[in-house]
Every structure is written in C-alpha cells, then in structure tokens.
Structure 1
Amino acid sequence: MKCIRNLKIATPHIIPRPEHNISRANISEHATKVLYRLKAAGYQSYLVGGGVRDLLLGREPKDFDVATDATPEQVKEVFRNCRLIGRRFRLAHVHFGRDIIEVATFRSMQDASEPGDRETENGMLVRDNIYGTIEEDALRRDFTINALYYNIEDFSVVDYAGGMEDLQAGVLRLLGDPDTRYREDPVRMLRAVRFAAKLGFVVNPACENPLFELGSLLQSVPPARLFEEVLKLFMAGVALHSFEKLRHYGLFGQLFPETEEALAHEDHEFPITFVIRGMQNTDSRIREGKPVTPAFLFAVLLWEPVRLLAERLRAAGESPLVAMQQAGSDILMTQLARVSIPKRFSIPMREIWNLQHRFEQRAGKRPYRLLTHPRFRAAYDFLLLRAESGEVEQELADWWTLFQQQDGDERNQMVRQANNGDGDKPKRRRRRRRRSAKPADPR
C-alpha cells in the first residue's frame, strides 16, 4: 500500500445523510450558526477536519473548523464578531464569548514558483495565502482522514482523498509524497504521532519510514509553536502512548534533548519509570475530569536532567537549594531553544523542583511552613511520583501523606519523633530550644 496518491483533482465521493452518522445535534451551536450564515450570504460552507473525523468515529470533537470560498475579508464582513489572524495562514476567527470558530478559505494547489502570496524557506512552507477551490483545498490537507467535509447544504460528507476508506480501516495516510509533505511542515511528524496515539490508528508504512529520518527538521520550527504541539501530545489523555511513540521514532530527543540524553544513559530504572508514572498520572486525571497544569507536566519531563545536574552541583559543595536553583536555570535555558515554556508555567515548575529537598526536613517548624506553601500540593504529588518510581524512599512520601491527615497534636507527635530520629543534633540542644510544653504552632 503506497502513501503517495495522485493529487490530480478527482470526482469526489459523496456520502449522503442516510449513510453516515453525523447529526447537526452533535455540532456546536456556534459552528452551526457560522455554517448557516455563510450559506445565507451566498458562500460555500463546510465543516472540515478533525471535527468531521471525530464525529464519524463517534467521538466528541474538541474544535469545530469551517472551510469556505469566502476570503477572510469577506468573512469579516459577514460577522462583526470576527478577527483576522495569522501570517503563515490567514484565518478568520469568529468569537462567541470564549468559544472561537475558525474559518479558513479554501487553499490553492498553485505551485510555489508561481506568483502569489506564498513563501517557502528550505522546502518549508512559511506563508500560504493563495486561495482556490474545495477540490484543491482537500488535496492540500495533511492526512486523508482530515480531508473530509460536511456540507451544510445537503448534510452529506464529501470525500476527495479516500479519507472515509482510511477512517474505516484505521489507517493514517498522508496526501502526497511523505518526504515533501514533512519538509513543507515538520510539525506534521508530530501530528502523525498524535493522531496515531489518540485514535489508535496504524501509520501507513510509506508515511512512517521518514519519521525515523527527518526528525532534525523540527529544529527549524519556532519553539513557541512546538510548545503548543507538546501540549496537544501530552494533554489529550494519551500522554503515555505519545511519549512511547515519540521515543520510538526518535522524535522525543528533538523536543527534549537533555531529557533524552539522561534517559538513554541512565543505569537505574527509576528515571524512565518516573516519566512513565507521570504520563499515566496525567492521563488518569484527564479521564477523571481533574485539572492538569502544563507546569507539572514539564516538571516531570525535565526532572531527570535537572536532578542529575543538581547532584553534581551538590557534590561540588553547593547547598541543596542553590544546587537545585542553578540546575533548574541551566536546563531550562537549554530547553527554551527547542520548546518554549511560558513563565506562567516555568515559574511554578521550578517551585515544584525547589521544594523537593524540603520534604526531607521534618524537624521543628519546617514541616508546618512547607504545608502552607502555595505550591505544596503540586510538589507533594511530585514527591509521590518520585517514591512510586523508586527514586526516594516510600517512607518519606507516606510520612507526608499521614502528616496532612493528622490533627495538631498528632502532627506535633510526628515531628517530635522525626526530631528524635534525625541523628543530626543531640536531644539536649533540641530541648533547650523548646520554651514551653505547649504544642508547636502549626502556622
């Protein structure tokens, strides 16, 4: 089975309403409103891409995108609540409060050498604003399963690329020559991994083979764009599968080179176990509808190189906190060259790391102060993962779990026992510091 298809415009396969399972009741109210208003204004109007794919698979789409023959400027004339965005691809965003319906004009298959608003750099498409027909637009899309159109005119599904057949067979197939399509946009390699993990599809062999060879092309992608792709890979409920597939194709090291280097040369099992447990934890929380923050996710992904560097700095004489702060700064600076991490996530990520050594300090008032830290819960969850993976003793995690559950007197007793058992200071000195027999202030 070949991945390369004849990209000449062909007669589409029309699947009438009785022969597919898409219902307007399952399309968002705002997307339906955009479809009908464009139609009423005299333009072609289709639901396209992942929304159609997921509806056909019986899944709930995350986004609903619209394709039309109206230019972005014409879309803006139809919708007062519309904003035009993008340089690489000019798009119209129709706003309904926090809900945004993305409207794209049909793209052309015009050759890049011909005049028009299209630009390439080293084979990578950096701007493409030449408009065409729905037939051309379908064949310009990345995967066949994303080139399916739901027509609001007669409620049919329009298939120009054999996407319905691949959808039913569970096959992920690129449109066109795989090498060329990956070079046009290297992010398509990450999309192939994401769809394969999310949908459980098999990547067509001709589309899969270049994944092992072209990973270095990701270095030309802006770090900010890769940040968005990483979130899609790891925060869709299939983080573990995505992680495993990325490593299988050699793509993980292009995104997190320091982490891959540490995992590839680590003698113990706990580093890879730690990442796997972190991915499993993320997937479980998403399935249960619990919040997941990118700060925790990135803290997990970068922990091993940070931990190793902090150990070397401590061996050189730095204090635990200074060692961790310096290691976090150095690894983060290297990471930002590949995948950017906004400060709203990198700051709490580093706080999670910096609090880890404080869990070992269970004497005096330190446990009480740590318990009131705004980032305590995330840091505690991080500690649990470290214990589960075998990096730290389970007793330490169990102590902090119990400490949170006890009342004031029982907490004081736990701290006194920790004082007696730490072996670092003589008991006489600890007794001199206590001014009264009153329990320690839990504040």
Structure 2
Amino acid sequence: MARPVPVHGSTPIDPQALPLLAPRAIPRDQHTISRRDISPNALRVLYRLREAGFGAYLVGGAVRDLLLELHPKDFDVATDATPEQVRQLFRNCRLIGRRFRLAHVVYGREIIEVATFRANSDDGSGDRELEDGRLVRDNVYGSIEDDAVRRDFTCNALYYAIEDFSVRDYVGGFEDVQARTMRLIGDPETRYREDPVRMLRAVRLAAKLDFSIEPATAAPIPVLAPLLGEAAPARLFEEMLKMFLAGHAVPSFEGLERHGLLATLLPDTAAALRSNRSGALRRMLLQGLAQTDARVAADEPVSPAFLFALLLWPAYCRTLAGLQAQGMPVEEAQRRAVDRVTLHQVQTIALPKRFSLPMQEIWLLQSRFSSRQRKRVFRLLAHPRFRAAYDFLVLRLVASDAHAADVEFWTQAQASSGDALSASLEAASAAGTDEDAEPAARRRRRRRRLPAAAAE
C-alpha cells in the first residue's frame, strides 16, 4: 500500500491524516528527460549509489527544468543512504549543514548535492527542532514518499529514476509542470509560517519559469508578508541576488508588487513609488531591471552594488527631498539621505559594505555631473566608480530629460582625448559658460532649489 501523500488543496502535511494517493511513474516515452542532458558527474553519483544497494534519484529543480526543456545549472540527488554512508562511498565528499545535513560530492568546480530522504513526523529517533513554528533543524530520515511530501512546491517534488528512466510523481507535480503552475504542497499558510522565505521562492520561481501561482498558494502571501521581517537578513540578501541577478528581474519585481511583498523587503522604496505620482521613478527602475536582464542574457557581468543603487534610488530621492524641504543644505542632505536609506534598509536585508559603499558612491557622484570645471571633470573621469555612475546617469533619462545635456557632455568627454577635452573646457570657461564660474550669489540661490534627482 502506498504511503499517504497530499492531494492538491489546503490539507496540512500530516502523514497520518492525508488521503492515499498511489505513486505514479511516468515512463520514458511520456516525458522529455534524456541522460544526455544530465551532468555526467550527477550520473556517476546516481550509479554508484545504486551499485551500493541504495535508492538514488535526480530530484527537484533539475527534473522540473529538464521537463521544461531548460538547462539546469545544478543537479541534486536524493537517496535513502545517510550522509555518513554517502561519505563512505565517495572520497571527494564532504558533509555540510546543521539545519539540513547534506553531502557534497565535489568534481572540480561542480558540486553534486546529495540529500537523504527526510520524513514528516519525528518518532524521537531523529534530529528535528522547531522554534515558534519555524523549522530550524530537520534531520529526520524517511522514505521517498515522505521526502516528496515535505518538499515545498509540487513542481519541485519530482524524481528521475535511472534504473528505468521514469519520472516518479507523488504529489501531482508532473501535471503542474505541464500546466506551468506553482502549487504548495499542503496548507499554504502553514508552509509559509514554517519558512516565510517560501513566499519569495514562489514569486521568484514563477518569474523564472513563467508559471502562474495557484490561487490558494497565492492568497496568504499579502497577509503573511510581514513574516519576512523576521527572516535572517543575510538569507534575504541571497534571495534578492537570486531574484534580480538571474535574468528575470522585471517579472520578479512585478511579482513582489502584485503579491504585497515589496513593502516588507524594500519599505522605503515602496513608499517612494507610491508617492511618485508621475510614475517616473518606477519607469526608471523597471528599465534598469530590464537592462540587467539583458546583460545576464548576453552573459555580461552584473553588479549587486548597481542593482541596489537602482532598487533604493526612489527611497534616496524621497529622503533627499524631505531633508531639503526642511532647509538642509544640498551636500549635507545628500550625505544624510545616503546614510539614512542604507541604515534603514540593512535592518531587513544584510547589504555587505563591499556593495553598499559603491552604491552610495554611485548616488553621490550624480550631483558632480553638472560640473564643467576642468579639474573636477578630469577628477571625476578618473574616479573608480565613474563608469557605473555614468551608466546610472544615462538611466535617469527614463525618469527625466533634465539630464540630457549632462549625458551628452560626459558621453563626448569619454570619447575625447585629454588634450581635446582640456582645450574644450578652457574655451568654455573663457566664454563664460563654465557653470562653476558663476557668481557666488547665483550659486547659493541654486543650492536652495531641489535637484532633479529629488524632483523625479
């Protein structure tokens, strides 16, 4: 008799209470997975485990992606061998993890992650710990049916068997992949409370795979969104990188907005976007994310510092405008806004200084693009963050054409030789068009006005 597994709906994950559902094996002629598309190292792990008498299956995202005819980056294996038994089979294996004890089999730069089937209930013989309903350690081992039930989404609970090349389905995940549907296994509210980051995973995977989130899975997200504030800031930072630097940043951002998660993750940005009636800041942000996706697609480098400069720019603009409205001088207001936005954000998402400091430089350099004084121009061109700041300036044209003259000048400045640029600046200064040569009184009047960044 098959072990009890969940059917679609809102039934909590209780192995003793769930209705029976016979395991299903989808034969090779009814799916698209071929061993040619599987990492040779993953196949080595699978075959060695099988030869040693253990059950071993390719599992999770790799199976899902192969069914969608995508190319997985990672290949994970699930087995009934314990981590210690896996280590005995592979000299190139190391054990990691406290919350989930895992085996990593290392082949050069590729790591095949091997996880032991985990059970849903603890008879006291395993190692499971919950804190306030959250699973902080889960090393209770069980069967493949148990393992399928405890996974998050049905599309991630599929197993590829090398002995007959079938796909094993215990929760209806095969049909959900065909229908491009994200569906939680078990009661959605219970699963989100168990691990609030699952709400982000639902949005991220839906964006990545072009899936829809099943209504019962989506419904609790706006209500439970504040629970993300209790997640580890370092973990949220890693989730943000996965969400925005993997080629699907635009649909991810739109998903965060649609499901009520943006205000928890980026509260100052969400507030700034709501107050920006023209929508200019949102247009700029989405254009920047689209360019990030294009760079990923072209296999070009992307920067977390530039990403967060973009994501938090609306918050910076709003904070800067507020400080200047209080009569604070421009330069002091800029420094205060930079510090305030950064300090507030790191309470939720742990932004390392190696990214937050360049982010701040990108912001502060924006006000220096209006200068045409020779020394300042050459100093800015030599600044290590110039190119990122210039790219950001160009992006700001989406929000306001007030920067068009600056973009044109700095575009030409980069294309000019040093001598030609110097001569051009000296000629402009002699003609009285050097903005930095204006009378002090006029400069002071300009300082009291809001800069374009704050008005966007």
TM over 0.5: yes
Look up the equivalent residue of 2:368 and give its one-letter code.
R
Which of 110, 119, 122 does residue 108 from structure 1 map onto? 119
Look up the equivalent residue of 1:187 and give its one-letter code.
V
Distance 1:167 1:188 in 2: 18
Look up the match of 2:50: 39
Look up the equivalent residue of 1:177 and give its one-letter code.
D
Corresponding position: 1:333 with 2:343 = yes
**CA 1:295–1:423 in structure 2 vs 1: closer, same or farther (change >3 Å)?**
closer
Report the alpha carbon displacement of residue 184 of structure 1 after superposing the two structures with TM.
0.9
Look up the match of 1:15: 26
Distance 2:424 2:96 in 1: 58
Relative to structure 2, which stretch is displaced further, 314-323 or 400-409?
314-323
Kept in 2, the 8 Å contact 1:92–1:102? The answer is yes
Look up the equivalent residue of 2:112 and give its one-letter code.
I
Corresponding position: 1:3 with 2:9 = yes
Distance 2:89 2:20 in 1: 30
Distance 1:36 1:58 in 2: 23
User: Which string of whole-angstrom CA distances, capped at 9 and with x for unpartnered residues, describes residues 347-406 of structure 1?
Assistant: 222221222222121211211121122211111111111122217422211211121112
Cα RMSD, aligned residues only: 2.2
User: Which string of whole-angstrom CA distances, capped at 9 and with x for unpartnered residues, describes residues 69-101 of structure 1?
Assistant: 111122222222222222221111222222222
Alignment of 1:420-439 (within 5 A): 420-425=432-437
Look up the equivalent residue of 2:50 and give its one-letter code.
K
**CA 1:96–1:326 in structure 2 vs 1: closer, same or farther (change >3 Å)?**
farther
Report the alpha carbon displacement of residue 321 of structure 1 after superposing the two structures with TM.
4.8
Distance 1:125 1:313 in 2: 43
Look up the match of 2:371: 361
Report the alpha carbon displacement of residue 298 of structure 1 after superposing the two structures with TM.
0.8
**CA 1:418–1:220 in structure 2 vs 1: closer, same or farther (change >3 Å)?**
farther
Unpaired runs of 5+ in structure 2?
A: 1-6, 12-16, 440-456
Corresponding position: 1:49 with 2:60 = yes
Look up the match of 1:213: 223
User: Which string of whole-angstrom CA distances, capped at 9 and with x for unpartnered residues, describes residues 232-262 of structure 1?
Assistant: 1111211111111101111011111111111
Residue-pair matches, total: 426
Kept in 1, the 8 Å contact 2:374–2:422? The answer is no
Look up the match of 1:159: 169
**CA 1:12–1:403 in structure 2 vs 1: closer, same or farther (change >3 Å)?**
same
Look up the equivalent residue of 2:341 and give its one-letter code.
I
Distance 1:29 1:288 in 2: 26
Distance 1:16 1:51 in 2: 18
Kept in 2, the 8 Å contact 1:356–1:379? The answer is yes
Report the alpha carbon displacement of residue 414 of structure 1 after superposing the two structures with TM.
3.8
Distance 2:403 2:171 in 1: 55
Look up the match of 1:224: 234
Relative to structure 2, which stretch is displaced further, 164-173 or 390-399?
390-399
Kept in 2, the 8 Å contact 1:277–1:389? The answer is no
Look up the match of 2:411: 401
User: Which string of whole-angstrom CA distances, capped at 9 and with x for unpartnered residues, describes residues 141-162 of structure 1?
Assistant: 1111111101122221111111
Distance 1:95 1:316 in 2: 58
Kept in 1, the 8 Å contact 2:188–2:220? The answer is yes
Question: 3-state DSSP class of the match of 1:214?
Answer: helix
Distance 2:41 2:188 in 1: 35
Look up the equivalent residue of 1:425 and give its one-letter code.
A
Look up the match of 1:291: 301
**CA 1:161–1:364 in structure 2 vs 1: closer, same or farther (change >3 Å)?**
same
Distance 2:308 2:161 in 1: 41
**CA 1:142–1:371 in structure 2 vs 1: closer, same or farther (change >3 Å)?**
same
Kept in 1, the 8 Å contact 2:87–2:95? The answer is yes
Relative to structure 2, which stretch is displaced further, 398-407 or 266-275?
266-275
Look up the match of 1:432: none
Look up the match of 1:303: 313
Look up the equivalent residue of 1:422 and give its one-letter code.
D
Question: 3-state DSSP class of the match of 2:220?
Answer: helix
Look up the equivalent residue of 2:188 and give its one-letter code.
P
Look up the match of 1:146: 156
Look up the match of 2:443: none
Distance 1:284 1:413 in 2: 38
Look up the equivalent residue of 2:222 and give its one-letter code.
F
Alignment of 1:79-90 (within 5 A): 79-90=90-101
Which of 173, 186, 210 does residue 196 from structure 2 map onto? 186
Distance 1:308 1:391 in 2: 19
Identical-pair percentage = 54
**CA 1:115–1:331 in structure 2 vs 1: closer, same or farther (change >3 Å)?**
farther
Look up the match of 1:438: none
Distance 1:332 1:237 in 2: 25
Distance 1:12 1:277 in 2: 46
Distance 1:161 1:31 in 2: 24
Look up the match of 2:450: none
Question: 3-state DSSP class of the match of 2:58?
Answer: strand
